[in-house]
């Protein structure tokens, strides 16, 4: 009886813990890979800024993407590392768990995806080479995709073949070190939370000045003169109130420079982003719609183009006769 029990193969079923741990590791890996790729792409975009990407909103989007990808990487990559380490300890304690179906399926599926990404990456590289559109920025992004997909492929290929050589361990530690360096760099590129809060205050100041500018133009069109002070723009009917500085709660500076010329001033906490040319389409008739600024007090002089913004005819206030 004892001999039959020893010779009988043990058929272990996959428990809920095994399923959830493997799924957690794979999901954390995929999310970490996307976050790492996004971070490296955005670093390249900033280092090799394209003329078509130099606007303020494009730069703002880049920095927002960096902050979100950095947050995801900081949370999810350690989850992947510790979950994978825990699973490795489970395999050492119970080697038969290496043959569970959930593990085999996820390993082969990940190898399949990584292989497809690598092949697609090489095809894209060759196509652009033949098309004569290779640029430094494109090549660096191709290398990033190749590195991330190649690292994942090698990691799980070694896992599938149960490689335990020193070179495999060195490779894994090297990848962890690279991810750590990329994450640390994100804090320097995106800036500290204090830096971001100061920039958000500046963004609100620019938005307020744009609103005030539009209200001044509207006032001029209706009355053919500029307001003497910003309080003249307050309108009880529409409910408009001139915004105040979001941080200091003080009024923005305003000065009339001529019949169609005025200036708006504000105190900024940080200099505007590189090539941050903020121009709204509906301000095309105002000369000088650039909102770039240095740290500290900055003034923006504006001149209304009468050919673009036509004065509106005055309302006579007459009441049409009633029908009999």
pLDDT digits (tens, 9 = 90+) for 26-74: 889 889 998 999 999 889 888 887 655 555 567 778 888 899 999 999 9
Distance CA 43, CA 174 (A): 20
pLDDT on residue 128: 73
Single out the residue of 24, 51, 47, 71 nearest to residue 144, CA to CA: 47
Burial of 272: CB neighbours in 10 Å, binned 0-12, 13-18, 19+: buried
- 16 band by pLDDT with thresholds 50, 70 and 90: confident
Q: What is the pLDDT of residue 164?
A: 63
Residue 75, pLDDT above cutoff 90: yes
Task: Report whether pLDDT(316) > 60.
Answer: no
- If one counts every other C-beta atom within 10 angstroms of the C-beta of residue 109, the result is 12
Indicate the range of 131-135, 284-288, 298-302 predicted with least confidence.
284-288
Q: Are 244 and 250 in contact (CB under 8 A)?
A: yes
Using a pLDDT cut of 90, give the percent of the chain over it.
27
Alpha carbon of 216 to those of 28, 260, 284, 311, 312: distances in Å?
A: 52, 10, 15, 13, 14
Asked if residue 277 has pLDDT above 90, the reply is no
Among the ranges given (124-133, 183-192, 300-309), the one the predictor scored with the smallest mean pLDDT: 124-133
Beta bridge partners of 288: none
pLDDT at 324 over 60: no
pLDDT of residue 56: 59
CA distances from 111 to 31, 54, 114, 151 (A): 16, 38, 5, 11
pLDDT value at 237 more than 60: yes
Select the more confidently predicted residue: 282 or 165.
165
Give residue 220's pLDDT.
92
Cβ contact 304:285 at 8 Å: yes
Whether residue 265 is predicted with pLDDT greater than 90 in this model: the reply is yes
For residues 206 and 10, which has the higher predicted lDDT (pLDDT)? 206
- pLDDT value of residue 133: 64
Return d(Cα 100, Cα 117) in angstroms, integer.
26
So what's the pLDDT on residue 1? Answer: 43
* pLDDT-based confidence at residue 165 (cuts at 50, 70, 90): low
Dihedral angle sign, alpha carbons of residues 52, 55, 57, 59: positive
CA distance 135 to 44: 12
pLDDT tens column, 286-296? 554 578 888 99
Angle between helices 136-161 and 16-47 (to 10 degrees): 160
């Amino acid at each position: 009886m004892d001999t039959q029990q020893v010779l009988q193969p043990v058929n272990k079923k996959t428990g809920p813990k095994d399923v959830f741990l493997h799924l957690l590791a794979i999901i954390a890996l995929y999310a970490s890979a996307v976050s790492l790729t996004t971070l490296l792409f955005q670093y390249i975009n900033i280092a090799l800024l394209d003329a078509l990407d130099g606007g303020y909103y494009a730069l703002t989007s880049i920095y927002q993407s960096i902050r979100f990808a950095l947050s995801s990487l900081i949370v999810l990559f350690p989850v992947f590392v510790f979950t994978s380490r825990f699973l490795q300890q489970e395999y050492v304690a119970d080697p038969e768990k290496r043959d569970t179906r959930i593990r085999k399926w996820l390993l082969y599926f990940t190898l399949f995806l990584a292989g497809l990404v690598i092949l697609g990456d090489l095809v894209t590289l060759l196509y652009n080479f033949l098309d004569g559109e290779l640029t430094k920025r494109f090549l660096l992004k191709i290398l990033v995709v190749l590195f991330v997909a190649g690292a994942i492929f090698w990691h799980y290929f070694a896992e599938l073949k149960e490689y335990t050589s020193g070179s495999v361990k060195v490779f894994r530690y090297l990848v962890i070190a690279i991810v750590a360096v990329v994450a640390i760099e994100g804090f320097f590129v995106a800036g500290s939370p204090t830096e971001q809060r100061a920039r958000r205050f500046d963004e609100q100041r620019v938005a307020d000045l744009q609103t005030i500018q539009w209200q001044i133009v509207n006032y001029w069109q209706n009355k053919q003169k500029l307001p003497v002070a910003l309080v003249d723009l307050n309108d009880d009917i529409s409910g408009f109130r001139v915004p105040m500085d979001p941080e200091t709660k003080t009024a923005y500076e305003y000065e009339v420079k001529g019949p169609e010329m005025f200036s708006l001033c504000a105190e900024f906490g940080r200099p505007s982003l590189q090539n941050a040319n903020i121009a709204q389409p509906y301000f095309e008739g105002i000369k000088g719609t650039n909102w770039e600024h240095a740290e500290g007090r900055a003034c923006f002089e504006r001149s209304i183009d009468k050919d673009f913004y036509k004065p509106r005819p005055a309302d006579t206030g007459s009441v049409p006769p009633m029908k009999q």
